Chains A and B, each alone.
Chain A
Amino acid sequence: MDHIEMQRDDVGAKLGMWVFIFTEILLFGGLFLVYAVMRHRYSADFHQGSLQLNTFIGALNTVVLLISSMTVAMSITAVQKKDNRKATILLCITLLCAAIFLVDKYFEWGHKISIMLYPGTDLMQSLKHGYILFFSLYFFMTGLHMLHLVIGAVILVVALTKVRMGLINNEHYVLLENGGLYWHLVDLIWIFLFPLLYLVT
């Protein structure tokens, strides 16, 4: 590097992460706006559409994500208390929760795709407008959320490796903290998606 090393600034790094989280919320904000408009216009169809979703899987995934958010927060505390072994276990639980979420989603999406209920199929085209838009929104919103979940999991895998190597320790843990913040964002967005899509009946 041909440049002087900057001084370490953990507060600055966290501020940057918070600002980035604002942008993520606004990214989903655009979708929530579309949702609001369409639900206002086709409220009866949205009601019928959400009855087609599996509330049990949705609720299970909510619980799974809440637990994962808790464990990631606990792992930061563990690192602060110089207990990297505990932090490793807690991060592994978090990643396990992410995997459970994805498996649930696989079954949920797989079922809908197997009965041709996804955007672009002939079955979709034959449905009422409100249904088409509901399921389009369902796939778009949960799909984008899933993408964020995968990105968050990748960040946590990096953090996990560094925790094991001791590069993240009780003095340097801002990467883990930022990864945790991002993970809470993934959780938070799901907390909004779940009632909007599954419980609006």
Chain B
Amino acid sequence: MTGNTHLHEEPSYLIDTGKRKGIMAWLTTTDHKRIGLLYLWSIMVFFIVGGILGEIMRTELFKPGQQFYGPQTYNAIFTLHGLIMIFLIVIPGLTVVFGNFVMPIMIGANDVAFPRLNLFAWYLYILGAAVVVISQFTGNGPPDTGWTFYAPYSTQTHTNVIAAVSGAFILGFSSILTGINFIVTIHRLRAPGMSFFKMPLLPWAVYATAWIQILATPVIGITLLMIIAERVFHIGFFDPALGGDPVLYQHLFWIYSHPAVYIMILPAMGVVTEIIPTFCQKQIYGYKAIAISSLAIAGVGYFVWGHHMFTSGMSKEAIWTFSLLTFLVAVPSAIKVFNWVATMYKGSIDLKPPLLYAIAFIFLFSIGGLTGLVQGALATDIQVHDTSFVVAHFHYIIFGGVGFAFLGAIHYWYPKMFGRMYNFRVANIAWCFLFIGFNLLYFPQFIIGLEGMPRRYFDYLPQFTWAQQISTIGGYILGIGFIILMVNLFRKNGEKAPANPWGGTTFEWQLPSPPPMENFATPPTVPDKPYDYD
């Protein structure tokens, strides 16, 4: 019997082989691939909700003045939109779905270090999400603070802040457990002979992300507990009437929430780093530079939080330091962009859907990153602070960056996950809708932001109408793109996927599609270079 036929006799991870069948088999699974899919389905459901909320906001903003609902409803909607998108989708997002599904395979492991803890983290995630949802329907109405829960408003508003904050706390705990799991996995379970510098770059990105998860998340945990204590016991840490300091809250909040941006973007960069060499059939340019810049982003990114508060009242020295560090953290990101482009240079480029998303990522992320520096610079930040320029900037990073990388990752590993191909032509059409819709939606916000359109406003001056209308239309085009994309991926009528449809070199392409429950019967042989196309 040859090794090949032996592999195909193993039932795939999608087939229940244990005692439990059907949904119970999934809800009690400790297999990293299945847990990755559990996260994928949950995130997809939340994304549909968050996306519809976004469309409802855009619809209201089509014209100045009130169209469909009042300002309080608008505040509640943008708060929930932010909570769902940030805490439920982009912060866990790529890490939990693809970190779970492919990272262990890429390092030649059969599972993560703590499989049961992994499942427990998913249940915590669902519990946290449930508490956030409950906060919308109980107490004195849905929270209206924005996802940032800024004190002192969050400690005084009568809306149901405590439930929402508790939900975020539970989600943070889930994130910490996943981070611990991945760090131990990468330290302990690499295939024999795979040193750190022989690891593919997605595991590197997941590793750097995991460190931020465990070093930053506890700080938001304690801060959210303080908000709860402030509301219940009036401890006064953030209440000026009791001697506290609201700016202190902002510091504590951003000590987590800025590194959280890197929790989102690092795995996205990791995904792009996997896609580009595969579709250019060329070794990645500057392997070590990319690996180390992941760690550099994680390290420096921990010390830039103050740039969210240039207008909140800080000493001049603090402002200068935070501004300088902000410019510094852009350097490793730029290194990565240069390396991706250099990898494509003279490669045999095969413009399949995953690569389209990766290229869109580079384009949109560069716009988002460079406009971020506009806000890192002190003088211009005063002008654009709290305007829709900021909204456009972070959507270019979070949606244009993380979101497009996520879609790229789905199209890249879809054959591996489900064992089927999808229709490339339809996927390309969906990409066009998404790319055009995205830019129409957010680019005008840069322009009117510079002209003074404030963010989080329910109403606006008539002179901004043209841009708001382009944005809304762009939002609808984006929505259509998502519908096409989902229909295409859900049809599942494509041909059966071969083990290695794209000609990739990392371990997951050596396994059948979909992989068996036990990834590797024997540990795989580790090549000298993870991306060897010569």
Contact = CB atoms under 8 A, between A and B. Distances in A.
A136 B236 contact: yes
B18 to A, nearest CB: 3
Contacts of B180: 16, 19-20, 23
B469 to A, nearest CB: 44
Is the interface on chain A under 10, 10 to 19, 20 to 34, or 35 or more residues? 35 or more
Contacts of A34: 226, 237, 248, 252
Nearest to B255: A30
A2 B18 contact: yes
A165 interface: no
B508 interface: no
B233 interface: yes
A42 B243 contact: yes
Interface string A3-14: 110100101110
A146 to B, nearest CB: 14
Contacts of A19: 179-180, 183-184, 214
Contact of B110 (A6, A15, A24, A28): A6
A116 interface: no
Contacts of A41: 243, 245
Contact of A2 (B25, B215, B218, B225): B25
B244 A133 contact: yes
A2 B114 contact: no
B219 A2 contact: no
A125 B234 CA distance: 9
A119 B233 contact: yes
B66 interface: no
A197 to B, nearest CB: 15
Contacts of A166: none
Contacts of A129: 236, 242-243
B218 A3 contact: no
**Of listed B219, B222, B242, B255, residue having the most chain A CB within 10 A:** B222
Interface string A109-148: 0000000001110000100111011001101100010000
Contacts of B221: 27, 30
Contacts of B245: 37, 41
Nearest to B245: A37
B254 to A, nearest CB: 12
A26 B212 CA distance: 12
A56 interface: no
A30 B236 contact: no
B188 A15 contact: yes
B30 A1 contact: yes
Contacts of B184: 12, 15-16, 19
B17 A2 contact: yes
B85 to A, nearest CB: 25
Given A20-B180, A129-B243, A26 B218 contact: yes
Contacts of B225: 144
A31 interface: yes
A195 interface: no
A4 B518 contact: yes
B219 A26 contact: yes
Nearest to A128: B243
Nearest to A118: B233
A30 B235 CA distance: 15
Interface in B201-235: 214-219, 221-223, 225-226, 229, 233-235
B31 interface: yes
Contact of B218 (A16, A27, A38, A139): A27
Interface of A: 1-4, 6, 9, 11-13, 15-16, 19-20, 22-24, 26-31, 33-34, 37-38, 41-42, 118-120, 125, 128-130, 132-133, 136-137, 139-140, 144
29 contacts: A1-B28, A2-B19, A2-B28, A2-B517, A4-B110, A4-B517, A6-B115, A9-B188, A12-B113, A12-B188, A13-B114, A15-B187, A20-B176, A20-B180, A22-B214, A26-B215, A26-B216, A27-B222, A30-B255, A31-B222, A34-B237, A34-B252, A41-B245, A118-B233, A120-B233, A136-B237, A139-B233, A139-B235, A140-B226
Given A22-B214, A125-B234, 14 more contacts: A2-B28, A3-B517, A4-B110, A6-B111, A9-B113, A11-B188, A23-B217, A27-B219, A31-B222, A37-B245, A119-B233, A137-B235, A139-B233, A139-B235
User: Which 9 pairs from chain A and chain B are nearest by CB?
Assistant: A129-B243, A2-B18, A30-B222, A136-B235, A26-B218, A27-B218, A12-B188, A119-B233, A23-B218
